[in-house]
Amino acid sequence: MKRVETTCGYCGCGCGIYVNVADDDTILGITPSYNHVVSKGKLCSKGWHGYAFVRDSRRLTSPLIRQDDGTFREATWDEALEKVASGFKDAMIDEDNTERIGIISSARCTNEENYLMTKMARAGLKTSSIDHCARL
């Protein structure tokens, strides 16, 4: 077994955890980081037990693109990112795109990731329509 030090991804608190991983890469459980500056050895129930999603069969493993008939097909990351960038370019028509482009970030991101999302929205996409769902 190996212990992988990382940050809990369930909310923006950013508690320090070790993921205990078997030799076949199966996750065996979570152990708190006892000297982590945020969590100091404590985790909520999501931090202790919320790792089943990693191997959930319903989890998407590749991007999907909606086709004209409404169905989805698998795509490469390059193709999906190109489609997203193209959609943003089409929607950006002036210096204030607040009415056309809105960004929904996530409470599961770290504070730093949400800060970057704000920068991308305001500086890159020229929109001040940004929110996130801090309701886990």
Rule CB under 6 A: which residues touch ligand SF4? Answer: 8, 10-11, 13-15, 39, 43-44, 46-47
Residues in the chain: 136
Q: State the minimum distance, in angstroms, from the CB of residue 15 to ligand SF4.
A: 3
Q: State the minimum distance, in angstroms, from the CB of residue 39 to ligand SF4.
A: 6
CB-nearer residue toward ligand SF4: 45 or 62: 45
Per the structure block, which two tokens stand in for 111?
């504070």
CB-nearer residue toward ligand SF4: 75 or 107: 107
3-state SS class at 127: coil
Q: How far apart are CA 65 and CA 76, in angstroms?
A: 10
Q: State the minimum distance, in angstroms, from the CB of residue 12 to ligand SF4.
A: 7
Specify whether the CB–CB gap between 3 and 18 falls below 8 A: yes
Q: State the minimum distance, in angstroms, from the CB of residue 131 to ligand SF4.
A: 20
Residue with tokens 């204030």: 96
CB-nearer residue toward ligand SF4: 101 or 109: 109
* Sign of the C-alpha dihedral computed for residues 88, 90, 93 and 99 taken in this order: negative
